[in-house]
Amino acid sequence: MAITTSPTYRAAAVGVAAAAVIIGAFTLGASRSGNGPAGTSAADAATLTASQSSGRITVTGTGTVTGIPNQLILSMGVQVNGSSVTSALNQASLGVRRVTTVLIRGGVAKSDIQTSDLNISPNYNNDNQITGYGVSESLTATLNQLSQAGSQIQAAVQAGGNAVTVNGVSLNLTSTGPLMAAARASAVANARAQAQQFASALGEPLGPVISITPVQQSSQTPLEYAGVNSSARASVPISPGTQQVSVSITVVYAA
């Protein structure tokens, strides 16, 4: 006896069979990828990519150069005592004017001389009674001709006489542009040499620079001394010596 199937049932049967085939194929693929060495899951692929990414080498390079100071900052003043405030102040002002005049005549620009301090205080005896007043007036002078600085200081001290005080001097480097450029170049070279050593030890080529950050721009050590004797006749000896300018940088390389 012939059996006939209506079109509706025939389409449903075909659909069920196709679904069974697809599910079987998916199950087989999952089984092979999980158990066989040829398979790689999505998680394994992400881990593999991360493990193959480029590393980084971070180093700190330092460059130091030496220069000769070309500027001297002189701190000096006049200190006097008087029976009254007016008397002491007039004496101090006179001494400062003499010092200033001599410095200007010696080649120091007027704009390079600046009043830095003025102090007026009473003097007491053992019975705590006021016996007079003391006045101290200080100034700061910038001497830009280092070869003449010794004679300029000597002349200023003699002009102030026994009332003059010298608090100290400091030597500075003013033209640091070329020195800083040389220090930066040295710091970069130092950083690259270190990074190349690390990369060679790892057996990897050194990659490009990712970032560079300045750590320290400049370091100077000024020379200071005090105690100039106003009775000396020769020029005050000035030995500029040397000062260092340093630059440190942190560089990150790809590796």
Residue 210 forms part of a structural domain: yes
**pLDDT (tens digit per residue) in 1-60:** 443 334 444 444 444 344 443 334 333 343 444 444 444 433 333 222 233 456 899 999
Same domain, 151 and 181: no
Domain membership of residue 148 (yes or no) is yes
pLDDT in tens, 216-236: 666 555 444 333 443 444 678
| 78 lies in the same domain as 168 | yes
Say what angle helices 85-105 and 146-160 make with each other, to 10 degrees: 150
Distance CA 207, CA 251 (A): 12
| pLDDT of the residue at 112 | 96
| Alpha carbon distances (Å) from 123 to 85, 89, 127, 129 | 11, 14, 11, 8
Asked if 63 and 186 count as a contact pair (C-beta separation under 8 A), the reply is: yes
- 116 and 193 fall within a common domain: no
pLDDT at 95 (0 to 100) = 94
pLDDT given for residue 241 in this prediction: 87
pLDDT band at 160 (very low <50, low <70, confident <90, very high): very high
Residue 51 forms part of a structural domain? no
83 lies in the same domain as 208: no
Say which CATH number the domain at 111 has: 3.30.70.2970
CB 245 within 8 A of CB 67: yes
37 within a domain of the structure (yes/no)? no
In this model, does residue 150 exceed pLDDT 90?
Answer: yes
Give yes or no: residues 218 and 98 share one domain.
no
Residues 166 and 76 both lie in one domain: yes
CATH number (domain holding residue 249):
3.30.110.170
CA angle (81, 163, 69) in 5-degree steps: 140
Compute the average pLDDT of residues 127-145: 94
The label of the residue with tokens 């599910």 reads 23
- Which pair of tokens denotes residue 120? 């007026």
In angstroms, rounded to a whole number, what is the distance separating the alpha carbons of residues 249 and 255? Answer: 19
Give me the pLDDT at residue 220, please. 55
CA–CA distance, 17 with 1 (Å, rounded to integer): 26
- Residue 238 is predicted with a pLDDT of 87
Q: Mean pLDDT throughout 132-144?
A: 95
Contacts of 189 (CB under 8 A, 6+ apart): 61, 63
Q: Are residues 93 and 214 in the same domain?
A: no
Dihedral sign from CA coordinates of 71, 168, 119, 136: negative
Q: Are residues 142 and 166 in the same domain?
A: yes
Per the prediction, the chain carries an average pLDDT of: 78
Same domain, 138 and 92: yes
Q: Based on the fold, state whether residues 196 and 119 are members of the same structural domain.
A: no
The number of residues making up the chain comes to 255
pLDDT of residue 216: 65
pTM: 0.62
Q: Are residues 78 and 125 in the same domain?
A: yes
Give the structural domain span for 164. Answer: 71-172
**Cβ atoms of 136 and 79 closer than 8 Å:** yes
Domain count, the chain: 2
Q: Name the helix (H) or strand (E) containing 202.
A: helix 177-202
Within a domain: 194: yes
Which of the 8 DSSP states describes residue 83? S
Which segment, 121-125, 176-180, 231-235, is predicted with the most confidence on average? 121-125
Higher pLDDT, 243 or 35: 243
